Structure 1
Amino acid sequence: MPRLTRAESQARTRDLLIATARTLFLRDGYHGTSLEKVADAAGFSKGAVYSNFRNKDELCLAVLDAIHADELNAALAEVSRARTFDEGVAGFQRWAERMIGDEGWTTLEVEFAIQARRDPDLREELAARDQIIRGTIASVLATKLDANAAMDAEDMATALLSLGIGLGMQRVIDPSIPVNVLIKTLRALTK
């Protein structure tokens, strides 16, 4: 087997650190996960973590980027397989049932947002990522909305994302709360 190049080895180390941190952040939360724990669990020194990430915030951003990419792609895949608007909504509902209120993901997002309130640069990083998510949702909605929709795609994306975040927090506390309220809101706004 050919030996890895330095760049390949560094990329592999970075990917392993992100995957390990993802597991720990989702299980133990932001504050319950230290860089030392990530390094130990991944089988590296703390120096390996610092050679890839400036600090825990940067590592957590990389983890959230990976989660968002995975979950946004999963939600878009559910919707994109649809031939009709109703099939798209049904696909989105399947994704929402699995993910909205996922305890690890939801609490990590909330805990990290609270962490960001003390750091304007970190807050800006999170805001930029949220804008990308809203933009993606808006672009999907724009292809499905008719001229008589209650609001434009950008506003609707903001409303649905905000409702989804709040619903996720409520479902962490009480998992019996159905995601159907989000689906009903989507249907009401698109009429």
Structure 2
Amino acid sequence: MARLTRAESQARTREQLVSTAKRQFLRAGYAATSLEKVAEEAGYSKGAVYSNFRNKNELCLAVLDDIHEQQTTMLTEAITGAADLESMLTAFQAWSERSIGDEAWTALEVEFATNARHDAEVRHQLALRSKAIRDTIAGILTAHAGHLGLTLPMSAEDTATALLSLGIGLGVQRAVDPGVSAVVLTDVIRLFAGR
């Protein structure tokens, strides 16, 4: 077996730290998770954490990036290949019921955003990530609206903002009361599509 290069070794360490931090943040929350606990569970020194991340905020941003990428991939895979709007909405609904309102993920997002309110740099980083998510949604909307012959009731960017905002609010409600159905988001998409 070939030895890892320094860059490969560092990438592996970073990946393991993010994976461990993700488990801890989702299990215990942002405040209760320390860099020491992450390092210990991952089998590294605290110095290894600091050689990859400046602080806990940067590590949490990396964890949220990982979660967002995973959810985007799951959503894209779910709706790709849908022949028509109804089959796409059925796939979207299934993803929504599984993902929107996941208690641990939702709590981490809310706790971290609330914690970051006094840190201009973290707020800036969260804003950049939020814009990237909105841009992804707008891209999906534009591609599928064209493919399905739909006209959006407002710009793709505004529609994406509305849907993301509704999804976030719905996620918080579902985290508190899992009995709340995610179907409302799918129904709003139907309204936007004129169905």
TM-score range (shorter-chain normalised) is: over 0.9
Aligned residues: 191
The residue type paired with residue 31 of structure 1 is: A
The residue type paired with residue 66 of structure 2 is: A
The residue type paired with residue 83 of structure 1 is: A
The residue type paired with residue 10 of structure 1 is: Q
Match of residue 171 from structure 1: 174
Match of residue 181 from structure 1: 184
Any idea what the Cα deviations from partners look like across 1:162-187, whole Å, max 9, x if unmatched?
00100000011100000011111111
Counting only pairs closer than 5 Å after superposition, residues 98-117 of structure 1 correspond to structure 2 as 98-117=98-117
Change (3 A) 1:132 1:150: same
The residue type paired with residue 131 of structure 1 is: K
- The answer to which of 145-154 and 166-175 deviates more is 145-154
Match of residue 190 from structure 1: 193
Match of residue 56 from structure 1: 56
The residue type paired with residue 186 of structure 1 is: I
With normalisation by structure 1, the TM-score equals 0.96
Find the aligned partners of 2:182 and 2:150 in 1 and give their Cα distance.
Answer: 27
Identical-pair percentage: 55
Any idea what the Cα deviations from partners look like across 1:53-81, whole Å, max 9, x if unmatched?
00000000101111101101111111112
- The answer to which of 103-112 and 77-86 deviates more is 77-86
Give the superposed CA RMSD.
1.1
Match of residue 11 from structure 1: 11
With normalisation by structure 2, the TM-score equals 0.95
Match of residue 37 from structure 1: 37
Uncovered stretches (5+) of structure 2, i.e. residues with no partner: none
Find the aligned partners of 1:149 and 1:2 in 2 and give their Cα distance.
Answer: 53
Residues 53 and 59 of structure 2 are in contact (CA less than 8 Å); yes or no, is this contact kept in structure 1? yes
Residues 35 and 49 of structure 2 are in contact (CA less than 8 Å); yes or no, is this contact kept in structure 1? yes
SS in 2 for 1:157: helix
Match of residue 134 from structure 2: 134
Residues 150 and 193 of structure 2 are in contact (CA less than 8 Å); yes or no, is this contact kept in structure 1? no
Uncovered stretches (5+) of structure 1, i.e. residues with no partner: none
Any idea what the Cα deviations from partners look like across 1:21-50, whole Å, max 9, x if unmatched?
000011111111000110011011111100
Q: CA deviation at 1:148?
A: 4.4
Find the aligned partners of 1:90 and 1:45 in 2 and give their Cα distance.
Answer: 46
Find the aligned partners of 1:108 and 1:7 in 2 and give their Cα distance.
Answer: 30
SS in 2 for 1:4: coil
